[in-house]
Amino acid sequence: MSRFAARRLDDLRATGLEVCTHPGLTVVPPGDVTPASGDHYKVFTPYWRAWEAEPWRAVLPAPESLELPEGLDPGAPFTPDDSAGAGSLAPERQAGGWTRARARLRSWTDGGLADYGDRNDDLPGAATSRLSADLRFGCLSALEVATAARDLPGGDAYVRQLAWRDFHHQVTAAFPWINTRDYRARDREWRRDPEALAAWKEGRTGVPIVDAGMLQLLREGFMHNRTRMITAAFLTRTLSVHWREGAAHFDAHLTDGDVANEYGNWQWTAGTGNDTRLNRAFNPSRQARRFDPEGVYVRRYVPELAELSGAGAHRPWTEGDGEGVEGYPAPIADPGR
Ligand SMILES: Cc1cc2nc3c(=O)[nH]c(=O)nc-3n(C[C@H](O)[C@H](O)[C@H](O)COP(=O)(O)OP(=O)(O)OC[C@H]3O[C@@H](n4cnc5c(N)ncnc54)[C@H](O)[C@@H]3O)c2cc1C
């Protein structure tokens, strides 16, 4: 539970109301599996082994009706106002809601799930479930999704990702400062570089795979997991800008942004979190060749590079006799080879 959620619960209890909470946010609630020593797992693989052996709760249907305490006026039902803050909303964001979430889950278990293990890193294929915002807002419960997927082809690989989600929640429950302090303090020198930070936010770093990810975020309020790692590593490892700066930008634009998964993953990528490989490298050029070999993902999101063919989209600096592509910046840092 984040600090905010814990405070909110304390405040409610302080009113004198009887407050009951029920598990629902995760498949396995934080604290239900713990290592022999310590209150939470710091490393994913042993957590995963314990998580797999844990029995799951039954999925319960939504209640038919709710009884309100006497004298309480619930007011008019909430209707989301799509025009509020429209300027800052991603124009191509996925529409949300309980009914759509259910349809998405059905079409996922009937279709893409079977190939998930092979295709989850296929950047141009966009072959992941896109259920993260539905999970974030509780339009689907993680238990319901895991139960629907578990016994189907592809279910093992997929449920493992839901265990990652639970993993970050149990870390955050034990370390609620995940969004402000290093989980594991490292001797890292952070740089203040407002220009580089602005270029990164706008998708104008001159490194195509980084810019494509950042532009996907602004356009869709979503970014593929692979480019989340590449862009976060570029900011924190290549540019040495603090993970808090990057996470704040993601938080402002992601429709699935939540404290545990966002900050847990940022710290994982920056090397201050739960990754056991501290010097994990995300060489942007190598990542691009491997996960977007034909440059399809880059061309989809970076308009200036739409005319380049094949993997040439990843090397715009070699175009025009080394002058680059008109309107597209030169790399602000070494994109790797
Ligand atoms: C820097 C960074 C920031 C991130 N911020 C968020 C965030 O704010 N909210 C969020 O839900 N995820 C976050 N992730 C994790 C992951 O990128 C997204 O969950 C995933 O891309 C969502 O797309 P999907 O639903 O199609 O995922 P799928 O690949 O279909 O996975 C299914 C579900 O498993 C869970 N999941 C998958 N990968 C992870 C992971 N690495 N960590 C935790 N849960 C995972 C998600 O709930 C996801 O919906 C972040 C990753 C990185 C590297």
**Contact between residue 303 and residue 319 where contact means Cβ atoms under 8 Å apart:** no
Domain containing 308: what range? 194-322
Mean of pLDDT values over 116-131 = 96
CA of 293 to the centre of ligand 1 (A): 23
Mean of pLDDT values over 249-269 = 96
| CA 160 distance to own-chain centroid | 15
pLDDT at 88: 65
Under the banding of pLDDT at 50, 70 and 90, the label for residue 281 is confident
CA of 76 to the centre of ligand 1 (A): 34
Question: Which of the listed residues 100, 105, 132 should we mutate to test ligand 1's pocket, taking the one with most ligand atoms within 8 A of CB?
Answer: 132
- How many structural domains comprise the chain? 2
* 146 lies in some domain: yes
Mean of pLDDT values over 222-240 = 97
129 & 255 share domain: no
Mean of pLDDT values over 200-217 = 98
Under the banding of pLDDT at 50, 70 and 90, the label for residue 17 is confident
Question: Which of the listed residues 256, 275, 280, 287 should we mutate to test ligand 1's pocket, taking the one with most ligand atoms within 8 A of CB?
Answer: 256
pLDDT at 85: 53
pLDDT at 313: 97
The encoded tokens of residue 67 equal 């009884």
* 254 lies in some domain: yes
Of 62-76, 128-142, 163-177, the one with minimum mean pLDDT is 62-76
44 & 162 share domain: yes
Rg (CA), the chain: 21
Which residue type does 332 have? Answer: I
169 & 200 share domain: no
Q: Whose CA is nearest to atom 19 of ligand 1?
A: 132
Question: Which residues, judged by CB distance below 6 Å to any ligand atom, belong to the binding site of ligand 1?
Answer: 120, 128-132, 135-136, 161-162, 164-165, 168, 225, 228-229, 232, 250, 254, 256-258, 261-262, 265-266, 269
Under the banding of pLDDT at 50, 70 and 90, the label for residue 331 is very high
* 88 lies in some domain: no
Mean of pLDDT values over 173-177 = 94
The residue from 126, 141, 174 where one domain ends is 174
168 & 198 share domain: no
CATH of the domain at 157: 1.25.40.80
The percent of residues in the chain predicted with pLDDT above 90, rounded, is 81
Q: Is the pLDDT of residue 330 over 70?
A: yes
pLDDT at 7: 87
24 & 136 share domain: yes
Mean of pLDDT values over 99-109 = 97
* 81 lies in some domain: no
38 & 157 share domain: yes
CATH of the domain at 253: 1.10.579.10
Q: Is the pLDDT of residue 98 over 70?
A: yes
Of all atoms in ligand 1, which is nearest to the CA of residue 258? 8
217 & 253 share domain: yes
Mean of pLDDT values over 281-303 = 96
Residue 226, H or E segment = helix 225-233
CA of 225 to the centre of ligand 1 (A): 6
259 & 300 share domain: yes
The residue with greater pLDDT, 84 or 3, is 3
DSSP label of 84: T
262 & 315 share domain: yes
Under the banding of pLDDT at 50, 70 and 90, the label for residue 84 is low
In angstroms, the CA 43 to CA 39 distance is 13
pLDDT at 332: 97
Under the banding of pLDDT at 50, 70 and 90, the label for residue 86 is low
* 282 lies in some domain: yes
* 120 lies in some domain: yes
- Give the 3-state DSSP-derived string for 159-191, with helices as H, strands as E and coil as C: HHHHHHHHHHHHHHHHCCCCCCCCCCCCCCCCC
21 & 117 share domain: yes
Cα end-to-end distance, the chain, whole Å: 41
Q: Whose CA is nearest to atom 45 of ligand 1?
A: 165
Of all atoms in ligand 1, which is nearest to the CA of residue 131? 25
pLDDT at 146: 98
Question: Which of the listed residues 115, 160, 165, 172 should we mutate to test ligand 1's pocket, taking the one with most ligand atoms within 8 A of CB?
Answer: 165
The residue from 127, 144, 174 where one domain ends is 174
Mean of pLDDT values over 117-145 = 96
Mean pLDDT over all residues of the chain? 93
* 183 lies in some domain: no
Of all atoms in ligand 1, which is nearest to the CA of residue 231? 1
Of all atoms in ligand 1, which is nearest to the CA of residue 129? 30
* 265 lies in some domain: yes
